[in-house]
Amino acid sequence: MAYLDHAATTPMLDEAIEAYAATAREVGNPSSLHAAGRCARRHVEESRERIAAALGARPSEVIFTGGGTEADNLAVKGIFWARRAEQPGRIRVIASSVEHHAVLDSVEWLVRHEGATATWLPVDEAGRLNPATLAEALDDDVALVTAMWANNEVGTLQPITDLAAIASGRRVPFHTDAVQAVGQVPVDFAASGAAALTVTGHKLGGPVGVGALLLGRDVACTPLLHGGGQERDVRSGTLDAPGIVAFAVAVEHAAKTQREYAARVSALRDQLAAGVRQVVPDVIYNGDPVDRLPSNAHFSFPGCEGDALLLLLDAQGVACSTGSACSAGVAQPSHVLIAMGADDDRARSSLRFTLGHTSTQADVDALIAALPATVERARRAGMIKSR
């Protein structure tokens, strides 16, 4: 199989699997005071230090979570609640219009249930946010600003340091979802100026179900979960020591190999993009042509349904993803492409191809070989359906 969906999840690194297995053979709750518990706690704290060093944070700023979605929810809701409690007039959340649903839905939940108001910042046709737009939107009623480091669909990179500086200048915490960015582009928490940053394991060679919120020590955050008071009393719950150890191995590896990885994968990505354009001349390449993730190639195929293309490619052993989200069994056009100015047809005709550490030239060749007949068949099906 040609696996071209690494942005959804990427295979665990061998060293992460070995670290997980070795730690899982030991017994001990990291919160227990006996020797076994202290051993598990040592694994957790050493992992916290490794992740902090790899991502330019202090160990005390690493809050372990059950993954990226929980970390996003904790940042958006927790910081909003804390800010509103301190200053009741701060009830507005500013977010980009192309956020991952973990952020988008969290903001909308606050609007529906907590009396928040939301400002959705527009992006240009490449999916890029203009910092001036954020500056114009800021006022004394803003509790939080959130903008993702790299878009999960089209791969466009945002000017995070500029955005964070603008928010900080108005004393507003800035959160960024860096789930797709870590390991692909340089990510340094301290240098970014962000108050909070989300990262997860399974996007960079670690296990599913473990992630972290990097949270500045001076940033108040009301917990979502209540219980044992773990993780600075911000995130209660028994810590997954084996998962955390494997997560730390993956983060450290991703940070150390980022330049080499980006060079290799971007070369493959460019070959993929060129090949797709050659065999489907009217294809539309979405996202910023330069400031984008090295692994991401996102296209719209005129006259095709993205879901149909995905299934036809899957039948030929090529795994990718569609740019549309599915809600309650009804396909919806990508909110990211709509925000970029695409019409519904273009938004529904998109596919995302993403590469990773196991990707090879053979994967690219398999896609290019399968694509012409797949597109032709999908277009025929679309013509029949429209009659």
Residue 219 identity (one-letter amino acid): V
Q: What is the pLDDT of residue 325?
A: 44
The percent of the chain in helix, strand and coil, each rounded to the nearest 5, is 45, 15, 40
Distances from the Cα of 169 to the Cα of 21, 120, 164, angstroms: 46, 20, 8
User: Tens of pLDDT along 233-267?
Assistant: 999 999 999 999 999 999 999 999 999 999 999 99
Q: Taking a C-beta distance cutoff of 8 angstroms, is the pair 372, 280 a contact? A: yes
Q: How far apart are CA 296 and CA 291, in angstroms?
A: 11
Given the residues 221, 304, 320, 326, select the one marked as catalytic. Answer: 326
Model confidence at 146, pLDDT cuts 50, 70, 90, reads very high
Q: Specify the pairing of strand 318-319 against strand 2-3.
A: parallel
319: Cβ–Cβ under 8 A, 6 or more apart, which residues?
A: 1, 2, 3, 4, 5, 313
Q: Specify the pairing of strand 321-322 against strand 142-146.
A: unpaired
User: Tens of pLDDT along 94-121?
Assistant: 999 999 999 999 999 999 999 999 999 9
For 182, the token pair is 């870590």
- Mean pLDDT computed over every residue of the chain: 96
Q: How far apart are CA 39 and CA 26, in angstroms?
A: 9
The answer to whether 39 is a known catalytic residue is: no
Q: Which domains does the chain have, with CATH numbers?
A: 2-7+258-386 (3.90.1150.10), 14-253 (3.40.640.10)
Q: What is the DSSP string of 236-277?
A: -S---HHHHHHHHHHHHHHHHTHHHHHHHHHHHHHHHHHHHH
User: Tens of pLDDT along 30-68?
Assistant: 999 999 999 999 999 999 999 999 999 999 999 999 999
Measured from the Cβ of residue 86, the count of other Cβ atoms closer than 10 Å reads: 10
Residue 327 has pLDDT above 50, yes or no: no
Q: Taking a C-beta distance cutoff of 8 angstroms, is the pair 338, 98 a contact? A: no
Q: Specify the pairing of strand 174-177 against strand 321-322.
A: unpaired
Of all residues in the chain, what percent carry a pLDDT higher than 70?
96
Model confidence at 328, pLDDT cuts 50, 70, 90, reads very low
* C-alpha torsion sign, points 175, 179, 184, 190: positive
Q: How far apart are CA 117 and CA 119, in angstroms?
A: 7
Q: How far apart are CA 74 and CA 43, in angstroms?
A: 24
Count of alpha carbons within 13 Å of 327, Cβ hemisphere only?
A: 8
Q: Enumerate the β-bridge partners of residue 199.
A: 212
Q: Taking a C-beta distance cutoff of 8 angstroms, is the pair 219, 86 a contact? A: no
Q: What is the pLDDT of residue 384?
A: 55
